[in-house]
Amino acid sequence: MNNVMRWALVACVLTAFCALSGCQANANTAGSQGSQAGATKRAAPPGEVPVMALHCLYDRKPWLNLDKAGDRDPEGLWYRVVLESRDGKRVWRDGTFHVEMYRIDRTGPEKIARTLVGDWHYPTSSRTRFGGGLIGNGYKLELAWPSKDIAGKEIEIITRYESPEGRTVRSGTKRFRVPKYST
pLDDT digits (tens, 9 = 90+) for 111-166: 889 999 999 999 999 998 888 777 788 999 999 987 778 889 999 999 999 999 99
Measured between alpha carbons, how far is 124 from 121 in angstroms, rounded to an integer?
A: 9
**Segments making up each domain of the chain, as ranges:** 3-33+47-177
CATH number for region 3-33+47-177: 2.60.40.2550
Contact (Cβ atoms closer than 8 angstroms) between residue 161 and residue 96? yes
Consecutive H or E run containing 97: strand 96-106
pLDDT digits (tens, 9 = 90+) for 95-112: 999 999 999 998 888 888
State residue 117's pLDDT score: 93
State residue 106's pLDDT score: 87
- pLDDT band of residue 3 (cuts 50, 70, 90) is very low
- pLDDT band of residue 48 (cuts 50, 70, 90) is confident
